[in-house]
Chains A and B, each alone.
Chain A
Amino acid sequence: MSVRRTPAAPISDDMLLAGLGAGDAEAAVAFVRRFQPLVFGVAVAVVGDYGLAEDIAQQAFERAWRHAALYDPRRGSVRTWLTRIVHNLAVDAARVRRPAPVDPQDLLPLIAAIADSPERRVLASEASEQLRVALATLPPEQARAVVMAGVHGLSTREIADVEHVPVSTAKSRIRAAMAKLHAALPVLRSDHG
């Protein structure tokens, strides 16, 4: 335990969220500045369109603001909570826009970017690094399957269709990929990394 008598650390994500939820304009500014690359990055990766991604990212911040009081630290960090909000919105928006299904070949740059995004390294936790390595070493068809499902929100049937494989094959790719990614993570702690 390290409680300092003279706090000098930057304000935590939790504390900024509290200020945001209370309607504090300065906390709102700081919150948006801190998280906008994350929120916009998720939206763009899922919907692939800057204009739509902007709308989604804005909705995500508005939702975070309205629902700040519902944030439950037991269920993950503020970063995880906010990521879930924007991801759900983006996947819903992408579903409405389909059919313009994901082309599996278009996923290669995205998979490469997830597996290696140096600008995040500075802040990355050990767990994130291990997950990156695990994704990079998956067989390509498993990596595509887990990204199509986990990032783009495609169902197993949709993945089977775009990959021209039986549903059972798509399903086993997803399950195998998740098993490997999960095994790569250290025992989950309730850390905020």
Chain B
Amino acid sequence: MAELSCRQCEELAEELALGVLSCHERADALAHLETCSSCQDRVSALTATADRLVELLPPVEPPAGFEQRVINALTPPPSPRTRRWQLPVAAGLAAVALATSGWIAGRATHNQTPTGASPQTQTGNDGQTGERTILYAPLTTAEHETPEHQVGQAYLYPGHPSWIYLSLDAPNTTTAGTINCEVVRRDGSTVSVGSFPLINGRGSWGGPAPIDRDTLATAKLINRNGHTLAKAHFGRPRSTSGQHSPPRHSEHRLRGHS
């Protein structure tokens, strides 16, 4: 392997960014980048330009049938637990509602008195097939601050499979680096569900998480030192919540706008 000078590396930078160097040249260039941050910056800037060029290619609607084939390939085989989300439900009402203009988190139901009845909806109710509930709670700074300062948002989908999405936007925080996300259950047990980088106080992460609506209490973001950066409290499920206090979280009906 040849050791390149910066000048030699610069001559390869465009082709490296475009992904068209030979294996040998590529290896040489990458070896140089390992040791040279200025060449590295140059190549990453050129790579971003090359990426944008490809993104400018005109979009083309694929032939009929493509979408269904892909969805079939991405949908796990039927099992009792996941049955509810199998096609044709996903490809029918719900899919149309979700996909055309994206999901819309419906009206917030803050402080709605728990009645056990299903939350109000604005449009024709598709029932189980056309809508589903996603839980939302604001991510706030530690509880001793009053009023709590909102620094982000937490969404949880407690279905099968269950998943979580968190976004944090706290430009004033001094914390940087990797943030761990934990889910705390009502019995106090904690599950670590993933981590994401925080850059200039901003970051977001989503992924699978073992969430059960009945046991879920809190989602927490923890920094490297174990300090809790933010938390989102989810109230008890409507059907079982007592009359202690109005829930701070809200349940959103996800539905399409037409």
Contact = CB atoms under 8 A, between A and B. Distances in A.
Contacts of A94: none
Given A62-B74, A150-B18, A29 B91 contact: yes
Contacts of A5: 108, 110, 138, 150
Given A19-B206, A20-B74, A58-B69, A37 B59 contact: yes
A10 B63 contact: no
Contacts of B49: 131, 178, 181-182, 185
Contacts of B138: 3, 5
A11 B17 CA distance: 32
B74 A174 contact: no
Interface string B231-252: 0000000000000000000001
B225 to A, nearest CB: 21
Chain B interface size band reads: 35 or more
Interface string A152-172: 011110000000000000010
Interface string A138-152: 000000001101110
B101 interface: yes
A24 B8 CA distance: 48
B207 to A, nearest CB: 5
A27 B69 CA distance: 16
Given A5-B108, A76-B51, A42 B57 contact: yes
The secondary-structure label for the interface of chain A is helix
A44 B60 contact: yes
A22 interface: yes
Contacts of B30: none
Contacts of A74: 197, 199
A33 B96 CA distance: 9
A146 B54 CA distance: 11
A6 interface: yes
A67 interface: no
Interface in A11-66: 11-12, 14-30, 32-34, 36-38, 40-42, 44-45, 50, 53-54, 57-58, 61-62, 65
Nearest to A80: B51
Interface in B3-61: 11, 14-15, 17-22, 45-46, 48-61
Contacts of A58: 66, 69-70, 73
B203 interface: yes
A174 B15 contact: yes
A84 B51 contact: yes
B90 A18 contact: no
B185 interface: no
Contacts of B161: 22-24
A9 to B, nearest CB: 8
Contacts of A10: 101-104
A106 to B, nearest CB: 15
Contacts of A15: 155, 165, 206
A42 to B, nearest CB: 5
Nearest to B204: A14
B59 A120 contact: yes
Most chain A beta-carbon neighbours within 10 Å: one of B19, B136, B199: B19
B169 interface: yes
Given A7-B153, A41-B58, A58-B66, A1 B171 contact: yes
A78 B80 CA distance: 32
B1 to A, nearest CB: 20
A88 B22 CA distance: 15
A153 B99 CA distance: 33
Given A10-B102, A24-B163, A154 B46 contact: no
B219 interface: no
Most chain B beta-carbon neighbours within 10 Å: one of A8, A30, A76, A120: A30
Nearest to A42: B57
Interface string A92-117: 00000000000000000000011001
A149 B15 contact: yes
A90 to B, nearest CB: 10
13 contacts: A7-B105, A7-B252, A9-B104, A15-B165, A36-B67, A40-B59, A50-B63, A61-B70, A62-B73, A76-B51, A117-B56, A128-B52, A156-B20
